Homo-oligomer: A and B are copies of this chain.
Amino acid sequence: MSLNSIFQYFVPKDKKFFPLFEQAGANLIVMAKALKESVYITDLSKRAELNKKIEDLEHKGDDITHQIHLELGKNFITPFDREDIHSLASSLDDVADFIQGASNRMELYKVQTPSQAMKEIADLILEATEHVAKALNELRDLKNIRNITDSCVRINSVENKADYIFDKAVSELFEYEKDAITLIKTKEVLSAMEDATDKCEDVANVLESILVKNA
């Protein structure tokens, strides 16, 4: 019996993991939208509100991760490998951590006017989380393997773009920014943002590995 047939057999019954992964994906989109809003404004008190909102959403994400772990503890049979469920939950958690980290650094460092690179990477984070959520919504029905693969390819492409923008921005920073403290602030916010897209790529890698095993 192929793994796939086992998989097909259990998928329709799973009421535990898929809804949780879908919630995690939806939560990341809301976080990424708040981050994007935050870098496009210069009103510090509004940004502080958004930071608080992102922090609350990050806690919500933690709760979802926690529930996935609880379900792993309670269920002997899972829709795909336990280690993959664990890796998928962890990588989604990491995306949330870095989105919140980027927002929190802007707050702590009192960044007044986010740079152009920050805006561009925030756009890309939102794009990446949308593809992540889309892929997670397709997981339930593995017949659409093509759609998941397609989302993974797009996530990789978004990460490459973010990488390129980050490198260019850091290079310019070291060339033109003479104030070391401003340089540190900008570099660290950009770095957390770029890490968020890296973690979306990790999600895509886990998803691809799930597809390979169950296709």
**Which A residues contact B (CB, under 8 angstroms)?**
69-70, 72-74, 83, 104, 107-110, 167, 170-171, 174-175, 177-178, 180-181, 183-185, 205, 208-209, 212-213
Residue in B closest to A73 when the chains form the complex, CB atoms: B212
A171 touches B212 (CB 8 A): no
Residue in B closest to A86 when the chains form the complex, CB atoms: B83
**In the bound complex, what is the Cα–Cα distance between A161 and B151 (angstroms)?**
39
Known: A70-B212, A209-B69, A212-B74. A185 touches B174 (CB 8 A): yes
| Residues of B close to A205: CB separation below 8 A | 69
| Residues of B close to A170: CB separation below 8 A | 108-109
Q: Which 3 A-B pairs have the closest CB atoms?
A: A180-B180, A73-B212, A73-B213
**In the bound complex, what is the Cα–Cα distance between A177 and B69 (angstroms)?**
42
| Residues of B close to A213: CB separation below 8 A | 73
| Residues of B close to A104: CB separation below 8 A | 167
B184 touches A180 (CB 8 A): yes
**In the bound complex, what is the Cα–Cα distance between A112 and B171 (angstroms)?**
14
| Residues of B close to A177: CB separation below 8 A | 181
Additional 4 contacts, C-beta under 8 A, given A73-B209, A110-B171, A110-B174: A83-B83, A109-B171, A110-B175, A174-B185
13 A-B pairs (CB sep. < 8 Å): A69-B205, A70-B212, A72-B209, A73-B213, A83-B83, A108-B167, A108-B171, A109-B170, A109-B171, A109-B174, A110-B171, A174-B181, A184-B184
